[in-house]
Structure 1
């Protein structure tokens, strides 16, 4: 799978950028703050997973404009697709593939798949649960159509349940309680299914993640991944019933997959509290490499690799070992200096300044 051609318009600080990308490696060079990461962000949006920087649609649109556009020619398994996205500063983002509107942005994963490595990945090991949930959901969304539909249904039910909790307040009437019973039943069914798939993914990611960690860290260590959900000791339906009074008081749902975590342990100790910063970096990189390998195995195509100024955050040894671990996939690398470790020399360079491509 490759992005052969990319066009972005009114996206972040890019007024109008169009370029062809090398099928193997492209190095994007330019001063910090001039639009290198914005270019990678546009590519990553093509798989429907949203901004890897957690940005809202409003911030993706160039100041003073109402819409941004991202268009790309994707070549996948001997087929060519034209993916087009219209991002509204206020409103709904729309996308189409070969002129046909997609029902959900997440369905773009059937065409495009990306794995992003960025400095913020340190939070995979050291940050809060939402970062690790997002990693699991991104992998499942890109490989499991049924999971995508399940997630959409779950998010809808969660919104409806939260709205009802807020409206009902401390003293819900019989009608509100009956409606809450309906939402609880749907929430429990969907939540159990989501947790089951996430749990299975944690197990599946262990071998490739541990293998990658050994190569990156240069030493043997046992990495463990486990799905952490207290409610699974009984059932989600039971947990919801036990939490109902508290949920009504808070006006929100306090238990379920939207609050769960993935625990990462190194040599039997929680990485979040016991791993050094160097170990946490290796863990994060190992999980990204495992994400790529798992996705490639299930989809049959190699996801595009996006490396956003990663090497500046690594010591020489880890940088060299990461190069040795990178898959044989289309890779786009950003660098403020233009210097990258030996072994990842780019076949083409793109120079960006003030959101404009100066040369390719």
Structure 2
């Protein structure tokens, strides 16, 4: 999978920027705060997943503008697609592929996928359960249409159920209880699909993440991933029914996939509380490498790799070992200093200053083409 060129208009601090990408490895350099990461963010958003920095549409649109545009040519399995996204400062974003409107933003994942490595990934290992659920959902949304539909249903049903719980209070009437029965059935149906997909994904990621961790950390330490539900050994329908009284009292849904966890242990101890920061970074990188491997295997082509100032957060040994683990895919790397570890052969270099590309150069006469 290749992004041939990218055009952004009124996106973050970029008024109008268009750049071509080498099919190999591109280095984007420039001072901090001048727009390097913004370009990676635009690329990553083309799969319809939103900003990997958690930004709202309002903050994505350049100050003083009403909307931003992101356009790109994507080459996948010898087929080119023009992906265009319109991001209004208020309201929903829209996208089209080859001039035809996309049914859903998340369907863009069938055209383009990218895996982002960034310093904030430390939270995958060190943060709360929501960070790990988000990782699982991100991977599945890129590869599984059934999951995308089930998760969208689950989110909608959960909102409706919570609203009803708050309105009904501790003394619901018969109408409220009947409506709650309907929501509970739908919640359990969608939830079971989400849980099944997540659990299968964790099982698939575990051995790949283990091997990646051994290579990155230079150790034989045991890394384990286990998916844990928020209810006991019973069906989700039974768990939701059993928690109804408590849910009415609290006004919120207390069990379900939105409360689940992917537990990460290193040498049998919880990584969140017992691993060092260096170990947690290696765990996060291992999971990203496992994510790339899984998506490439499922969709049949290697996702674009986006490395946002990752090497500045790593010691020399981990940085060197990460270089050896990077997949053979189109890669875009950002660096404030222009320095990258030995072993990364840069094919092109783009310099960004104050939201503008001020130079672009080829570093090799014959650019390398990554494996697809």
TM-score normalised by L of structure 1: 0.98
> How far did 1:65 drift?
1.3
Unaligned 5+ segments in structure 2 are 361-372
SS of residue in 1 equivalent to 2:163: helix
SS of residue in 2 equivalent to 1:301: coil
Alignment partner, residue 343 of structure 1: 343
> How far did 1:245 drift?
2.3
Q: Distance in 2 between matches of 1:271 and 1:233?
A: 25
Q: Distance in 2 between matches of 1:180 and 1:324?
A: 53
Unaligned 5+ segments in structure 1 are none
Alignment partner, residue 312 of structure 2: 312
Q: Distance in 1 between matches of 2:49 and 2:187?
A: 23
Q: Distance in 2 between matches of 1:278 and 1:222?
A: 16
Alignment partner, residue 20 of structure 1: 20
Alignment partner, residue 150 of structure 1: 150
> How far did 1:232 drift?
4.4
Alignment partner, residue 31 of structure 1: 31
Q: Distance in 2 between matches of 1:141 and 1:183?
A: 24
Deviation string, structure 1 residues 158-217 (Cα, Å, up to 9, x no partner): 121122112222221100110000000110111111111111111110111011011100
Alignment partner, residue 43 of structure 2: 43
Q: Distance in 1 between matches of 2:79 and 2:166?
A: 49
Q: Distance in 2 between matches of 1:235 and 1:7?
A: 48
Alignment partner, residue 281 of structure 1: 281
Q: Distance in 2 between matches of 1:52 and 1:210?
A: 25
Is residue 271 of structure 2 the alignment partner of residue 259 of structure 1? no
Q: Distance in 2 between matches of 1:190 and 1:232?
A: 18
Is residue 121 of structure 2 the alignment partner of residue 129 of structure 1? no
> How far did 1:126 drift?
0.5
TM-score normalised by L of structure 2: 0.95
Deviation string, structure 1 residues 23-74 (Cα, Å, up to 9, x no partner): 1111010101111111100000011111111111111111121111000000
**RMSD over aligned Cα, in angstroms?**
1.0
Alignment partner, residue 298 of structure 2: 298
Q: Distance in 2 between matches of 1:95 and 1:261?
A: 32
SS of residue in 1 equivalent to 2:231: helix
> How far did 1:241 drift?
1.8
4+ runs deviating over 3 angstroms: none
Alignment partner, residue 199 of structure 1: 199
> How far did 1:114 drift?
0.5
1:137-286 pair list within 5 angstroms: 137-286=137-286
Count residues in correspondence.
360
SS of residue in 1 equivalent to 2:156: helix
